[in-house]
């Protein structure tokens, strides 16, 4: 299946489920509290499918799957018959209106817990948190960490895979100070190591570079895959299955070494030594130069891999029984929610680059990639996005659920709603914020594609 089909299908499925849950939260609580619901729409635009239920609620599907809405009876949006005034949203108590508005984000968090529960019960596979040789001068190198060391615990909390370790490290770097690790060398006894993370940048783009931590790779010549037409690799006569042994005399012992060498030599004329079917040969390759954010990088024009059996001893699995998975899923949802909020705060003060903001294009790509990997990967992706939707919708920005809750809080303090003029002004500000955020997200998406 083509990549674009995976991306579009994954995006539509994920967003449809997440939006449905969010809006169903508003719908269910509104109906439970006695508010009349007129329409439940999945997507925006002119509906292409509409169904009117026996209770009079209009269910519709619209062509733009980037959101949805629940329309309730409200005197501010149209005339309401006298006998139905008690069913209108605007005539409900402050507590009921707040509950209806908050239900959307709450249902997103509930969905995230359910998704994480499934992930933990099914089980997740990943790489053991073994590290590659830290670069000289890095925080990890200064602490004495070596290639092949396994990080078995962070501040006393056991870690089983690199994915778990990555989240733990980001959280602890945000705290600053010293980071205690429990490390074990192959065949050795665990030892305690402390990393000074006070000067480590919290931006995920550079955080792991500053720490000097990256996954360990088995020592094995990389194997070329997917030779692109018109690429330097094709011009040099390279073929899929060729094992790269060296570049300009420098031994290449892993895919990352090959990638790093090529990227560091834009436009270079290099001698590449390969093994093809047991026969060694040398070829001349002229690397291309590509530009990314103003920096020049080399390009060979091929994929790279290692024999899959080399990774068997580095795999780890995390699986919980159905009962143990409940508190674990709730804790994971809370941790990801708090981490998302903290990263947004650091983005506001400039510690984290706004380049980390992703839009529909990037989300679709990640959705497609996770769907191709498998069910657990796709469920994990949906859980993360559901958490993000819950957190973002609770931000105190007019037009978002959090903005409505803020206005309700002001109403509670003042004893009356804001004036129509103030409400309109807040709406304009909210739309301006959302519009600016969407432009930034699309810009970042396009720049990543370029």
| Strand pairing class (315-318; 124-127) | antiparallel
> How far is Cα 441 from Cα 335, in angstroms, rounded to an integer?
24
What 3-state DSSP class applies to 56? coil
User: Does 288 qualify as catalytic in the annotation?
Assistant: no
Three-state secondary-structure class, residue 448: helix
Instruction: Write out the two tokens for 53.
Output: 């239920």
Catalytic-labelled residue, pool 23, 150, 217, 273: 23
**134 contacts 140 by C-beta, under 8 angstroms:** yes
In angstroms, rounded to a whole number, what is the distance separating the alpha carbons of residues 288 and 248? 16
Rounded CA gap, 155 and 166, in Å? 14
Burial of 291 (0-12, 13-18, 19+ CB in 10 A): exposed
Backbone torsions φ then ψ of 123, nearest 5 degrees: 105, 140
Q: Calculate the alpha carbon distances from 125 to 345, 373, 375, 376, 380 in Å.
A: 32, 11, 12, 9, 12
- Beta strands 150-154 and 178-184 are antiparallel
- How far is CA 290 from each of CA 144, 263, 265, 287, 299, rounded to the nearest angstrom? 36, 9, 11, 10, 7
CA angle 448, 449, 450 (to 5 degrees): 90
Write out the E strands in 150-190.
Answer: 150-154, 157-158, 178-184
At 373, which helix (H) or strand (E)?
Answer: helix 360-373
Residues that are catalytic = 23
């Amino acid at each position: 299946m083509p990549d674009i089909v995976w991306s579009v299908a994954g995006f539509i499925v994920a967003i449809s489920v997440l939006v449905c849950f969010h809006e169903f939260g508003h719908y269910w609580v509104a109906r439970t509290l006695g508010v009349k619901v007129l329409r439940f729409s999945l997507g925006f635009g002119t509906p292409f499918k509409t169904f009117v239920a026996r209770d009079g609620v209009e269910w519709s599907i619209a062509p733009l799957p980037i959101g949805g809405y629940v329309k309730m009876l409200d005197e501010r949006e149209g005339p309401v018959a006298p006998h139905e005034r008690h069913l209108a949203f605007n005539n409900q108590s402050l507590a009921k209106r707040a509950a209806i508005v908050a239900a959307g984000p709450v249902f997103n968090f509930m969905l995230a817990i359910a998704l994480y529960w499934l992930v933990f019960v099914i089980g997740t596979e990943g790489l053991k948190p073994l590290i590659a040789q830290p670069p000289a001068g890095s925080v990890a190198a200064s602490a004495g960490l070596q290639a092949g060391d396994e990080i078995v615990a962070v501040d006393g909390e056991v870690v089983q895979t690199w994915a778990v370790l990555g989240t733990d490290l980001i959280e602890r770097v945000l705290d600053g100070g010293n980071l205690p690790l429990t490390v074990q060398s192959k065949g050795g006894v665990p030892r305690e190591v402390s990393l000074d993370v006070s000067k480590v940048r919290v931006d995920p783009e550079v955080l792991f570079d500053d720490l000097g931590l990256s996954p360990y790779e088995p020592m094995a010549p990389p194997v070329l895959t997917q030779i692109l037409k018109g690429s330097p690799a094709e011009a040099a006569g390279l073929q899929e299955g060729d094992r790269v042994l060296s570049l300009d005399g420098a031994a290449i012992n892993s895919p990352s070494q090959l990638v790093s060498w090529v990227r560091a030599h834009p436009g270079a004329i290099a001698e590449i030594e390969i093994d093809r079917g047991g026969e060694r040969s040398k070829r001349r390759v002229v690397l291309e130069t590509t530009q990314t954010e103003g920096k020049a990088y080399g390009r060979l024009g091929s994929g790279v891999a290692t024999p899959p059996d080399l990774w068997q001893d580095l795999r780890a699995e995390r699986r919980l029984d159905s009962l143990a998975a409940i508190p674990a899923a709730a804790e994971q949802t809370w941790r990801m929610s708090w981490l998302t909020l903290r990263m947004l705060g650091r983005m506001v003060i400039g510690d984290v680059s706004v380049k980390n903001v992703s839009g529909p294009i990037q989300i679709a790509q990640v959705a497609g990639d996770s769907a191709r990997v498998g069910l657990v990967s796709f469920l994990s992706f949906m859980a993360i996005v559901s958490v993000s939707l819950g957190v973002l919708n609770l931000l105190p920005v007019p037009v978002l659920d959090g903005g409505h809750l803020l206005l309700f809080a002001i109403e509670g303090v003042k004893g009356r709603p804001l004036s129509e003029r103030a409400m309109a002004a807040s709406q304009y500000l909210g739309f301006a914020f959302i519009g600016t955020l969407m432009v930034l997200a699309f810009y970042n998406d396009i720049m990543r594609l370029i």
